[in-house]
Chains A and B, each alone.
Chain A
């Protein structure tokens, strides 16, 4: 257990429905990341927050996806009008800030989304 928690762990929804996932990072970490992982593949970067500011967004993050981190603590990832292609594991990670360089990312257990 890395200390990063995600809720729910599993979500089954019907195509066209909206879903929202929550991530609680390690408390002293001010950086938070979302990745998506499909079966047999490595995680793919979606977006990154430093405190409450969303600083990077991948081209994978279509306009149906929105991520927030309103108070610089927990984060939510919402997918609107879900499609079957959205079925994947959604991983959250957090890291401490160490200057401007890269710092180790600690991953949560993920939320597995199945869109029927």
Chain B
């Protein structure tokens, strides 16, 4: 069945360290993946996306890695800052599920220690 899950529900890191948030998916037909950041009381905010024909994509302080062999996605945040504290969701889309439907994982709460 379709599911997008996360290895860890919470992650605590020191300010300035790098953070790695992981995500596993089960739908081999998934061809588009997104990471969203959600702060308390706000809607999800787009961070970075990657298509299935890529295995790595970099943005500003963030990198997404995609391993289709093991159906694994990760978000790396460099030099973590207090403003990075939030819940992070991976989401996926596949043409089989419907062209526009996003399936979200449960989320990982990232906490930054000073």
Contacts and interface: CB of A to CB of B under 8 A. Distances in A.
A45 interface: yes
B42 interface: yes
Interface residues of A, number: 28
B93 to A, nearest CB: 5
Contact of B104 (A2, A33, A43, A108): A43
A86 B98 CA distance: 24
Given A42-B89, A104-B34, A48 B43 contact: no
A85 interface: no
A25 interface: no
Contacts, number: 60
A62 to B, nearest CB: 18
A10 to B, nearest CB: 10
B44 A40 contact: no
Given A41-B106, A42-B89, A102-B32, A109 B101 contact: no
Nearest to B5: A42
Nearest to A43: B104
Contacts of A108: 43
A7 to B, nearest CB: 13
B1 interface: no
A100 B102 contact: no
A100 B99 contact: yes
B49 A104 contact: yes
Interface of A: 2, 4, 31, 33, 35, 40-45, 48, 55-56, 58, 91, 93, 95, 100-102, 104-110
16 contacts: A31-B100, A40-B106, A40-B107, A42-B4, A42-B91, A42-B107, A48-B98, A91-B43, A102-B93, A107-B36, A107-B44, A108-B43, A109-B41, A109-B42, A110-B42, A110-B43
